[in-house]
Each structure stands twice: as structure tokens, then as C-alpha cells.
A and B are shown apart, each in its own frame.
Chain A
């Protein structure tokens, strides 16, 4: 790619979502908006290398996309898909955003677009693909690579999703107040799903795909900036920043997993930690009943604030998990609490909790449950039981890097006659 084409790509990557959102609101049609902005991208590839990048690329993109959208509307009107009235309304509305517009006169409508893409009437995989394409501005090949899917699969998923939005009349708007809490929760869940897909690839040889996690953080930033009074929006952004700040320490030079207790904390990104902690504190100040993201961010913040693993305030983490379990009960959070309790009070107390989760059954197929029990059994000197639990965990781990880590831990178990004290 030439450096000029790279410059066009860079500008469109940051402006795509805003332009699509604005046109989608005016046109009431996300597919038409996407096509028009894509037209503007092709025009930029032709013109910017010769004319230079415009002074205000955002206004340029919106103006060119507006003209292309009107061309498309007129062409479509001949096909009778759009009425004359809609075309006229769009033309009138779009006249306000010509090339002379400055940044402040072009509103940021991305929130509407995010809520449309994450509408619960769409299947989760459609929500993810649509959000990455329209809001984040990723191309179909980029989305396919990030989600480890074939390009035609993603292309078809997007076509179907856009068809449903249009045909079923999914509105391009922020939901009314009485629906906002539920809809925001499901929208944040889509963003966190994208983040986690980037944080730990659920299958395959690589542990992380940073690009996707970075895109999720961008999306989280858009939502929390446009909804500054929503504690969970701030909480999710904080949580993602704090988790992402550890990305370079999570694997060693050979690509092997390094758990938080053994990570080289000098590799943590301090700027992201500082922002994450500030956002966590803001989210916690905003409400007396913090939600799951704010609490998970608070837990991540306690880890981030410990200078060494030994300095970790496990009592506080265990208490935060207690609060989290009340707000958002899940077997995974219960398992994490058992780990925190084992660190604060000793492996016997932790194992009692882990065993009750095992008895309840819903995590029977999760390698994390068996790996956690194995670790606690090992610390109690019950090496044979620990080895059996590690073997079960190894069988169930889906990720090569995680499997190798478990194999190392299995190999490191002491002989049964040498019980270890709590470390």
C-alpha cells in the first residue's frame, strides 16, 4: 500500500462510523448510508493523492457521501424503492452539511448507529459483524480475519443483518428512557464480547488478537463519551483499559501464557492503567449501586494498583466479588471469588467454595474450574487429586497456549509426600 493510500485508510478508519451514522439518521437506511460512505472512500483514493488530504476531511467525507447518497436515491427512485418525498427530505437535510461545515456543525450520531447495530432483534453474531463494519469501519476481510471466519460468511451475515434492519423497521435512534437501561446493557455486552474475542481467542494457536480488543476500546470510548452519565458505560471502558494494559505481559517471548501473579509488571501500560482507574472511580461515584462492569473494573484496578503480586489486596478483591455476585450472579464470578478467598484466607477456604461450584455442575466442562481446583489441591499438598484435575482441565482447554500452561503446572506438582504451605 502506498503511503498516500495508507493516509486515506487512516482517515476513513476514524471517520467512517461518524459519516455512516449521520447519513443513516438522515436517510433512515443504514445500507444506503454505508454504500455512500464507501463511495466517498473510493473518491478519496482517487483524489487525495493528487489534491492532498483536505483541511477538514470529516466535512469532505460527509459532503461527498451526501452527494453520492442523493445520486443513489435518485437512481433508486426510478426503481421506485424510494419516494420523491424521501429524496427531497434527504436533500434538504443534507444541504446543511457541505464542505464548508466545520467539525462542530457535524453532529456525532454514532450512538444511534450503535444502538441500531446492537438491537436485540438481531442475532448476536449479526450485532457483532454490523457494529464492526458500520461503527468501527472495519472491512469485510478485516472482520473475517478478526473473527476467524470466512469472508463470504461475514459478507452474507452483513447482507442479511442490513436486510433485517431495513425490512423489519429497526429504528436508527437511541431508545427511549423506559427502554434505555436494558438496551444499553445489551449494547455494552456486544462491545465486551468483541473485546473478549480479541483478548483470548476461543480457539486456535494464538492467545490474543490485539486489533479487535483495540476496536472494542474505541467503541467503548464512543459510548462512554456520548453517554457521560451512564456509570456502566464508564465501567466497561475502564474494565477493558485495565485488562488491555496487561497485554504485553500476558505471554512470554516464546508465546507461553503468563498468569497475573507472575507477570512482569513493568510491561503493564501505565497510561492505560491511570485512565482505567480514573474511570473506575468515576463510575463508582456516579451511583450507589454499581453494576457489573464498574465492579469488575474495580477488581482489575486493585490488581493494577499492587506493585508486586504479593502486595495484592485479596481481601478487597474477595469483597468486590461478593458484591459482583449479588449484582450479576454467574458461576465464573463465583469461581473467581473462590480464587480470591483462597489467596486471602488459604486454599482450604477457597477449595470449599470451588467444590460447591463443581457440585452445582454448570462449569463441569470449563477447563478453568478444573484448573482452579487443581491449583488449590496442589497448594494443600493433595498432589494426586491435583494431577487428576489438571488432566481434566488439559482435556477441556480450547486454546493451545492455555493447554501448554496447564501441562507445565501438572509437571511442576511436587511428590504427594511433600505438602506445601499456602504461598
Chain B
């Protein structure tokens, strides 16, 4: 099964982080990603630019409505994601628990929906 780890964090806390701490965190993420690759779970993953760069699009009554920022104003915003191949939720939760972001913010683990074969 595939799972997406959605990494949520508080951008204000990230901004206050010293340069040194920021570098340390980057190093942790490199190491974490490398571990995921070695375990065979890694499918893909990317960090995202800040929520300030986000644009939200909606189609309403045939009109495209474009607005600045993410859909909801919450303290924790989506900061990145991984897609993993795991044998069960337990394995996905184990990987999520080791993600550096779990210590600062939270990781939402969502199974990728399995679509019925169409052949």
C-alpha cells in the first residue's frame, strides 16, 4: 500500500530558527530521506515553498476564483510530503514517527486510495 506523509509545521517557529539549527534540520531530513530510500519505502517526496507563496483556485458557477494563500488559516501549515510504499499502517506510522518534522509539528498519514482496476 502507498501512504502519503503530510508534514505540518508552524512557519513562525521555522523563521525563528537560527541558521545553524536550520542547517542541522536540513541534514536530518537528508539522512531521513536516505534511510527511506535504503529501506525501499521511498516513492517520492518534496519540501514545499512557504504557505505565503500558495495560491488557491476554485471553480464556482463556471468562474475561476483565484485567491492568495492557503484555503484555511491555521497555525500549522503543510510544509512538505513523502509518498511511501509500506506493508501496513504500522510501518507507515513508524516511518512518520522518525520524520524530523514529527518533533516540531505533526505528520498526517493518509493511505493513497486504491482505484479499482479498469481493464
Contact = CB atoms under 8 A, between A and B. Distances in A.
Main secondary structure of the interface of A (DSSP, over half): loop
Nearest to B113: A167
B89 A169 contact: yes
B90 interface: yes
B116 A167 contact: no
A121 interface: yes
B111 interface: yes
B117 A169 contact: no
Contacts of A119: 89
A168 interface: yes
Interface string A152-189: 00000000000000011111010100010000000000
A121 B93 contact: yes
A169 B86 contact: yes
B116 A171 contact: no
Contacts of A179: 90
A171 B117 contact: no
Given A169-B1, A169-B111, A170-B88, A81 B116 contact: yes
A80 interface: yes
A168 B2 CA distance: 10
A80 B117 CA distance: 7
Contacts of B92: 169
Nearest to B92: A169
Nearest to B117: A80
Interface residues of B, number: 13
B91 to A, nearest CB: 9
Nearest to A176: B90
Contacts of B117: 80
Contacts of B88: 169-171, 173
A79 B118 CA distance: 11
A118 B1 CA distance: 21
B106 to A, nearest CB: 14
Contacts of A167: 111, 113
Query: Which interface residue of A81, A169, A171 has the most chain B CB atoms within 10 A?
Result: A169
Nearest to B114: A167
A349 B87 CA distance: 57
A206 to B, nearest CB: 39
B109 to A, nearest CB: 8
A168 B89 contact: yes
Nearest to B93: A121
Contact of B90 (A79, A80, A81, A171): A171
Contact of B89 (A80, A81, A121): A121
A420 to B, nearest CB: 55
A182 to B, nearest CB: 12
A159 B12 CA distance: 40
Interface in B102-116: 111, 113, 116
A80 B90 CA distance: 26
Interface of A: 79-81, 119, 121, 167-171, 173, 175, 179
Given A168-B111, A171-B88, 9 more contacts: A119-B89, A167-B113, A168-B89, A169-B1, A170-B90, A171-B87, A171-B89, A171-B90, A175-B90
**Across the A-B interface, the 9 shortest Cβ-Cβ residue pairs:** A171-B88, A169-B1, A169-B89, A80-B116, A170-B89, A168-B89, A168-B111, A169-B88, A80-B117
24 contacts: A79-B116, A81-B116, A119-B89, A121-B89, A121-B93, A167-B111, A167-B113, A168-B89, A168-B111, A169-B1, A169-B3, A169-B86, A169-B88, A169-B89, A169-B92, A170-B88, A170-B89, A171-B87, A171-B88, A171-B89, A171-B90, A173-B88, A175-B90, A179-B90
